[in-house]
Amino acid sequence: MENTNTIESAVLDVRNISVSFGGVKPVQDVSFSIKENSFTSVIGPNGAGKTSLFNLLSGMNKVSSGEIIFKGEAIQSIHAHKIAQKGLVRTFQGAKVIRRLTVAENLMMAVQGNPGDNLMGFLNPRARKSFETKAREEAMRRLDQVGLTKFADEYAGILSGGQRKLLDLSRALMADPKMLLLDEPFAGVNPTLVEKLLTVLAALRKEQSITFLLIEHDLETVMNISDRVIVMADGKIIADGLPNSIYENDLVIDAYLGSRRKDA
């Protein structure tokens, strides 16, 4: 792999990470390096270990071995919330929303450095209020971006599956990420909306120079937006390169056909 010559501008550097739960080894000796402001997709059949990989990168599970370097700092053993504070933010497969908070509150919760999040902030209502006002404004802007404005003050629990995905994505953006890890943001979303989301992501990459690592089931969907595709199967990386080169890779074809044979 071409790790050595890209390491200078690498925002994320994953070095030989593995995890095992008892006998199960969802991620085995995975290494790759992500360039700043790049867009990389991770594809692979069900159970390949993609979500497990994200759980490691975001600190929600800890690696059994290996190192994860984010912006020059080893993060493999620090708490998940600290990793998010550093700007490495993830979303969840299937979109998790807080059902009993309103849509706007779901977003406002994500803002970093809120003095009101701290109990001491209780004693400084002025700072708290002005921060809230700004957070609300930003939330409304984000909602407008994904067409959810009219749901701002409804409980997020009333949103449909597709709308929850939009909310999940907007919420991650509210957290001011340097790099976003998106776990199957398009699964179960209608094709028109997928197109729209892809446009939104491309714009974000350009305007806010966010680096993207995105899990997708289907290579077709991310073909155009990705400048690199990593293919996983059985916990390992089996191919890594330009989207076009992935198409012709025998290992990839095997992995997909293999999984289809198992499913049948």
Partner 1 sequence: MEAFIQPGFWIFVLALAGIYGVFSLGLQIQYGVGGIMNFGHVGMMAVSGYTIAVLVIKYQWSFWWAALLGVVLAAFLGALLGLTTLRLSGDYFAIASIAFAEIVRYWILNSDDTTGGTQGTLAIPSPEGFASYTGQPDVILNWISERLYPIIGDEASRDLSMVLIVWPFFFLFIWISSRLQKTSWARVLRATREDDDVPRSLGKNVFRFRLQTLIIGSVFGGIAGVFWAVQFALLAPEDFLRIVTFYGWMILILAGSTRVKGLFVAAIFFGFLYGATRFLEFWPLSLLSSPERAYLRVFLIGLVIVLLMVKRPQGLFGKRQEMILE
Ligand X SMILES: Nc1ncnc2c1ncn2[C@@H]1O[C@H](COP(=O)(O)OP(=O)(O)O)[C@@H](O)[C@H]1O
Listed ranges 18-26, 171-179, 238-246, 253-261: which one lies at the site for partner 1 (CB under 8 A): 171-179
Under rule CB under 8 A, residue 134 binds partner 1: no
> Quick count: other Cβ atoms within 10 Å of Cβ 242?
11
213: alpha, beta or left? (left if phi > 0; alpha if psi -120 to 50): beta
> In the window 38-77, what residues touch Mg ion (CB under 5 A)?
50-51
How many residues contact Mg ion, by CB under 5 A? 3
Q: Is 61 exposed, middle or buried (0-12, 13-18, 19+ CB in 10 A)?
A: middle
Q: How far is CA 135 from CA 104, 139, 242, in A?
A: 9, 6, 39
> Residue 49 binds what, of Mg ion, partner 1, ligand X, none (CB under 5 to 8 Å, by partner type)?
ligand X
Residue 156 or 183: the one with the smaller Cβ distance to ligand X is 183
Among 4, 5, 72, 119, binds partner 1 (CB under 8 A): 119
> Residue 52 binds what, of partner 1, ligand X, Mg ion, none (CB under 5 to 8 Å, by partner type)?
ligand X
The C-alpha torsion from 137 through 140 and 142 to 145, rounded to 10°, is -130
> In the window 2-61, what residues touch partner 1 (CB under 8 A)?
58, 60
Listed ranges 18-26, 140-148, 204-212, 221-229: which one lies at the site for ligand X (CB under 6 A): 18-26
How many residues contact ligand X, by CB under 6 A? 11
CA 220 to chain centre: 19
Q: Which residue has the tokens 């999040």?
A: 117
Q: List the x/- string, 73-112, binding to Mg ion by CB under 5 A.
A: --------------------x-------------------
Under rule CB under 6 A, residue 51 binds ligand X: yes
Q: Which residue has the tokens 């309103």?
A: 102
What are the tokens at 144?
Answer: 């407008």
Name, in order, each residue with C-beta under 8 angstroms of 215's C-beta and a sequence gap of 6 or more: 41, 42, 43, 50, 51, 54, 93, 181, 182, 183, 184
Length of the chain counted residue by residue: 264
Among 35, 71, 128, 217, binds partner 1 (CB under 8 A): 128
Among 3, 16, 46, 190, binds ligand X (CB under 6 A): 46
Q: Is 71 helix (H, G, I), strand (E, B) or coil?
A: coil
Instruction: By CB under 8 A, name the binding residues for partner 1.
Output: 58, 60, 79-82, 84-85, 89-92, 96-101, 105, 108-110, 112, 114, 116-119, 121-122, 128, 131-132, 135, 155, 157-158, 171-172, 175
Instruction: By CB under 5 A, name the binding residues for Mg ion.
Output: 50-51, 93
